[in-house]
Amino acid sequence: MIGVGGLKEKGINLEISFRLKEILEKDGFTVLMTREEDKGLNDSSASNKKAQDMQRRIAFLNDTDPVLTVSIHQNSYSDPEISGPQVFYYESSQEGKALAEALQDSLNQKLEPPRPRIVKGNTSYYLLKRSEGTLVIVECGFLTNPREAELLQSAEYQEQIAQAVSEGIQRFVKEKSQNPVKKP
């Protein structure tokens, strides 16, 4: 996604992800990244680069079987006034919803958006549909909102987002360990 003034989503995503990784690892978590450099998971010769990239992300998740997955993104909308972080989960996933709610609450508290958002269930996003585990998509803000696009470029704001996501993950993990889901 390209935002205000040619701002590229992929670079901001990677910066926030690195900050989040550092915070979580300091707190004893093992973090696996689907990418650690500014390039997709697709072959340069692929006819549909985005589809191959998404398929490889799902294969990576299936191979590594993480406790949870947080996919960091930036949002866009035709109305440049729309702003604020929003977390998506697969509509029928109770664990996904619980993780999304923990993250959304933390983001709303830490970032204090003018209009706090609520989590949103989804059945069409490829990663949410295809993931076998607990996965959420965190849209950290809107690159089409000039004020938020400026904030998203700042190291301080990226750090605030990473802190908020980390706190939400930690709350979810703590609650999950205190109330484990029993499988039949």
The CA angle 76-37-83, to the nearest 5 degrees, is 20
| pTM as predicted | 0.92
Q: From CA 167, how far away is CA 181, in angstroms rounded?
A: 21
Q: What is the pLDDT of residues 125-161, one digit of tens each?
A: 999 999 999 999 999 999 999 999 999 999 999 999 9
Mean pLDDT of the region 24-28: 97
Q: What is the pLDDT of residues 33-72, one digit of tens each?
A: 998 877 778 778 888 888 898 998 999 999 999 999 999 9
- Among 3.40.50.300, 1.10.3720.10, 3.40.630.40, 2.40.50.100, what is the CATH number of 20-32+68-176? 3.40.630.40
Q: From CA 4, how far away is CA 152, in angstroms rounded?
A: 11
Q: 24 with 163: CB under 8 angstroms?
A: no
